[in-house]
Amino acid sequence: MKKSMIVIGIVLVILVVGLIFMQNVNFNRLGANEYYTQINGEGTKIEEKGSGGTIFIRYEYELPAYDKDGNQKTFTFTAGKQLRENAYLLLFVKDGKGVTSYQEVTSDELPGKAVEMLD
Write down all domains in the chain, each with its CATH number in brackets. Answer: 27-118 (2.40.50.480)
Q: Whole-angstrom distance between the N-terminal and C-terminal Cα of the chain?
A: 67
pLDDT in tens, the chain (119 residues): 778 888 888 888 888 777 776 666 666 666 688 999 999 988 999 999 888 888 999 999 999 999 999 899 999 999 999 999 999 999 999 988 889 999 999 988 888 888 788 87
What is the model's pTM? 0.75
pLDDT given for residue 23 in this prediction: 67
- Name every residue whose Cβ is closer than 8 Å to that of residue 77 and which is 6 or more positions away in sequence: 60, 61, 91, 98, 99, 102
Helix ranges restricted to H, 1-119: 2-24, 112-118
- Residue 6 zone, left/alpha/beta (φ > 0; ψ -120 to 50; rest): alpha
pLDDT given for residue 21 in this prediction: 66
pLDDT given for residue 104 in this prediction: 92
pLDDT given for residue 26 in this prediction: 61
pLDDT given for residue 47 in this prediction: 92
